[in-house]
């Protein structure tokens, strides 16, 4: 004979399993992916003409500063001073220009992550964070593929420049006739350099926010695993009965919902649910025992109410009076209650 104690224990495990399932998979409201794209929009902005105009302007200044006639020595002077300006001044300026956007993007991205990942169910939060990671990795791949292409173009420009100089030395070209060409090739070289450098700066920003996102993903993976193991702890103690579960769950939610249980446990543990898996001081047995304890009073009330209504039904059948309206036995609430177990009513009454 099934005792009242064992029946209630089975109910507690059945409900606990469903509560944890709700915690893992409950549909959650998430920000739109377009909001994320808006945060990193600067990464899609191509280098504008102003960046290249500064190189052209500097090239003209260097040429004007050397008053000597155009010669190979002057071309070498221009090339060396332009290179010196680029590495000692321009690159630092470019890095500084990206410093503020890099900090701003990362701060905004962290706030964006914090806007949903601790509140959403771990499954939905993990799916969304994984979608973000896939996009960021594709963007990272794009710029990493683009950078060597630009460097190859730069090397091609250098070869063209060296070829021009060599032919001028051999006397095949007149230095005056090819002066404009040497300027164009130099500008092409530095345009490729700048684009490659901007690619590298974008890669650094992307790498930083990928790391931030991966930290969240790791915590969500650990919490998903933690909750799945917790769910398994409950499932091995009872056989799932969908009809019984739907009735018990409906009655439980009139008193306390899965979200209520989650908030109580988060407050008790001092940690959001999506961090339980990564917190070394929280263990599965602790959550299991707390949840079972919180459910015990609720399932006891449900049991007492059902027994009372079964007694009312038996008395109504004995006297021939119509059944009074009750919570469990009212066909409008659940016409299939008797299908829970063919002998459930008799067993409960016998236990009383």
Is the same domain home to 19 and 37?
Answer: no
Residues 311/349, Cβ–Cβ less than 8 Å: yes
Lowest average pLDDT, out of 221-225, 268-272, 337-341, goes to 337-341
Quick one: how many helices (H) and strands (E) in the chain? 11, 0
| Final residue in a domain of this structure, among 233, 256, 275 | 233
Residues 120/30, Cβ–Cβ less than 8 Å: yes
Q: Is the pLDDT of residue 27 over 50?
A: yes
User: Model confidence at 340, in pLDDT bands (50, 70, 90)?
Assistant: very low
Q: pLDDT of 102-144, one tens digit each?
A: 888 999 999 999 988 988 999 999 999 999 999 999 999 999 9
Domain hosting 207: range is 31-233
Is the same domain home to 197 and 309?
Answer: no
Q: Is the pLDDT of residue 280 over 60?
A: yes
Residues 227/279, Cβ–Cβ less than 8 Å: no
User: Model confidence at 173, in pLDDT bands (50, 70, 90)?
Assistant: confident
Q: Is the pLDDT of residue 151 over 80?
A: yes
Residues 52/94, Cβ–Cβ less than 8 Å: no
Contacts of 133 (CB under 8 A, 6+ apart): 210, 213, 214, 217
Give mean pLDDT, residues 140-164.
94
Is the same domain home to 71 and 142?
Answer: yes
DSSP state of 338: G
Q: What is the pLDDT of residue 46?
A: 66
Question: Cα torsion for 308, 311, 313, 319, to the nearest 10°?
Answer: -140
Is the same domain home to 172 and 299?
Answer: no
Q: 286-325 as b/e, with b when 16 or more CB fall inside 10 Å?
A: ebbeebbebbeebbeebbeebbebbebbeeeeeeeeeeee
Lowest average pLDDT, out of 139-143, 162-166, 207-211, 344-348, goes to 344-348
| Final residue in a domain of this structure, among 233, 261, 292 | 233
SS3 107: helix
Q: 22-32 as b/e, with b when 16 or more CB fall inside 10 Å?
A: bbbeeebebee
Q: What is the pLDDT of residue 332?
A: 38
First to last CA, the chain: 12
Contacts of 286 (CB under 8 A, 6+ apart): none
Is the same domain home to 328 and 260?
Answer: yes
Residue 24: closest CA among 114, 127, 112, 115: 127
Give mean pLDDT, residues 188-201.
92
Q: Is the pLDDT of residue 322 over 70?
A: no
User: Model confidence at 211, in pLDDT bands (50, 70, 90)?
Assistant: very high
Q: What is the pLDDT of residue 272?
A: 93
Residues 154/192, Cβ–Cβ less than 8 Å: yes
Is the same domain home to 156 and 76?
Answer: yes
Q: Find which of 7-11, 245-249, 263-267, 346-350 is predicted with most confidence, using mean pLDDT.
A: 263-267
Higher per-residue confidence, 252 vs 339: 252
Radius of gyration of the chain (CA): 36
User: Model confidence at 351, in pLDDT bands (50, 70, 90)?
Assistant: very low
Residues 23/258, Cβ–Cβ less than 8 Å: yes
User: Model confidence at 337, in pLDDT bands (50, 70, 90)?
Assistant: very low
Q: What is the pLDDT of residue 335?
A: 40
90 vs 64: CA distance, rounded Å: 19
80 vs 349: CA distance, rounded Å: 99
Quote the percentage of the chain above a pLDDT of 90.
48
Quote the percentage of the chain above a pLDDT of 70.
85
Around Cβ 227, how many Cβ atoms within 10 Å? Answer: 24
Is the same domain home to 255 and 198?
Answer: no
Is the same domain home to 89 and 159?
Answer: yes
| Final residue in a domain of this structure, among 193, 210, 233 | 233
309 vs 326: CA distance, rounded Å: 7
Say how many domains are in the chain: 2
Is the same domain home to 59 and 178?
Answer: yes
DSSP string, 229-268: HHHHHHHTTS---HHHHHHHHHHHHHH--HHHHHHHHHHH
Output the average pLDDT for the chain: 84
Q: What is the pLDDT of residue 323?
A: 56
Q: Is the pLDDT of residue 208 over 80?
A: yes
Q: What is the pLDDT of residue 325?
A: 54
Residue 55, burial from CB neighbour count under 10 angstroms (0-12, 13-18, 19+): buried
Is the same domain home to 251 and 346?
Answer: yes
How far apart, in Å, are the Cα atoms of 46 and each of 42, 50, 178, 193, 195?
9, 11, 31, 14, 9
Is the same domain home to 221 and 335?
Answer: no
114 vs 109: CA distance, rounded Å: 9
Is the same domain home to 9 and 76?
Answer: no
How far apart, in Å, are the Cα atoms of 72 and each of 57, 79, 158, 163, 164?
21, 11, 16, 13, 11
Q: Is the pLDDT of residue 249 over 70?
A: yes
């Amino acid at each position: 004979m099934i005792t009242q104690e064992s029946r209630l224990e089975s109910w507690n495990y059945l409900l606990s399993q469903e509560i944890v399932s709700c915690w893992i998979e409950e549909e959650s409201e998430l920000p739109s992916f377009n909001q994320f794209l808006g945060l990193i929009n600067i990464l899609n902005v191509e280098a504008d003409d102003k960046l290249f105009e500064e190189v052209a302007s500097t090239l003209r200044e260097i040429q004007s500063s050397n008053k000597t006639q155009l010669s190979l020595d002057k071309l070498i002077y221009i090339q060396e001073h332009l290179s010196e300006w680029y590495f000692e001044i321009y690159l630092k300026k470019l890095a500084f220009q990206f410093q503020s956007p890099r900090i701003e993007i990362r701060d905004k991205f962290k706030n964006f992550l914090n806007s949903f990942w601790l509140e959403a169910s771990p499954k939905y939060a993990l799916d969304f964070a994984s979608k973000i990671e896939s996009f960021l990795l594709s963007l990272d791949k794009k710029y990493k593929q683009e950078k060597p292409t630009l460097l190859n173009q730069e090397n091609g420009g250098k070869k063209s420049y060296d070829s021009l100089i060599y032919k001028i030395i051999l006397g095949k070209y007149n230095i005056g006739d090819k002066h404009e060409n040497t300027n164009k090739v130099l500008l092409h070289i530095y345009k490729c350099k700048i684009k490659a450098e901007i690619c590298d700066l974008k890669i650094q920003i992307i790498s930083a926010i990928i790391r931030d996102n991966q930290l969240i993903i790791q915590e969500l993976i650990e919490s998903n695993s933690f909750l799945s193991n917790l769910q398994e702890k409950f499932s091995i103690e009872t056989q799932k009965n969908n009809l019984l579960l739907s009735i018990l769950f409906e009655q439980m939610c009139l008193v306390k919902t899965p979200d209520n249980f989650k908030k109580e446990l988060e407050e008790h543990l001092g940690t959001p649910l999506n961090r339980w898996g990564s917190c070394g001081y929280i263990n599965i047995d602790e959550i299991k025992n707390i949840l079972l304890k919180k459910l015990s009073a609720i399932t006891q009330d449900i049991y007492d109410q059902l027994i009372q209504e079964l007694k009312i039904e038996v008395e109504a059948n004995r006297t021939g009076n119509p059944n009074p309206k009750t919570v469990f036995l009212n066909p409008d609430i659940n016409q299939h209650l008797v299908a829970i177990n063919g002998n459930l009513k008799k067993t409960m009454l016998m236990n009383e």
